[in-house]
Amino acid sequence: EPEVTQTPSHQVTQMGQEVILRCVPISNHLYFYWYRQILGQKVEFLVSFYNNEISEKSEIFDDQFSVERPDGSNFTLKIRSTKLEDSAMYFCASTEQGTGGEKLFFGSGTQLSVL
């Protein structure tokens, strides 16, 4: 079965540093998403991306965050200057269709620890 892959599985960084979380969505998918889950809390939507632009973003997704699809396969989330409260598990997801939730495939996540 095709899968969404995320690297690294665990990222440790110092507060104020920039981090880039990488995702390789499933090859024929067109819609891409980032979610995060702070330990013990619910999964929160960050941003959706289609046709090389952001479709929707949440209040969490402020100016410190950006997304990019630098080539035909990668989808990245950049946090410009990390804060302690950015520590969370970040999930990438992709789907063939924007409203096709049944085909929303999640990656296994990147655990970001900000020290």
Residues binding other proteins (CB under 8 A): 31, 33, 35, 41-45, 48, 50, 55-56, 91, 93, 98-99, 101-102, 104, 106-109
CB-wise, 65 or 106, nearer to other proteins? 106
CB-wise, 25 or 107, nearer to other proteins? 107
From the CB of 60, what's the least distance to other proteins, in Å?
13
CA 98 – CA 85 distance, rounded (Å):
30
Q: Which residues contact 8 (CB under 8 A, 6 or more apart)?
A: 22, 110
From the CB of 18, what's the least distance to other proteins, in Å?
25
In single-letter form, the type of residue at position 81 comes to S
CB-wise, 10 or 80, nearer to other proteins? 10
Q: How many degrees, rounded to 5, is the angle at CA 17 between CA 11 and CA 18?
A: 75
Short-list 21, 29, 5, 24, CA closest to 102: 29
CB-wise, 14 or 42, nearer to other proteins? 42
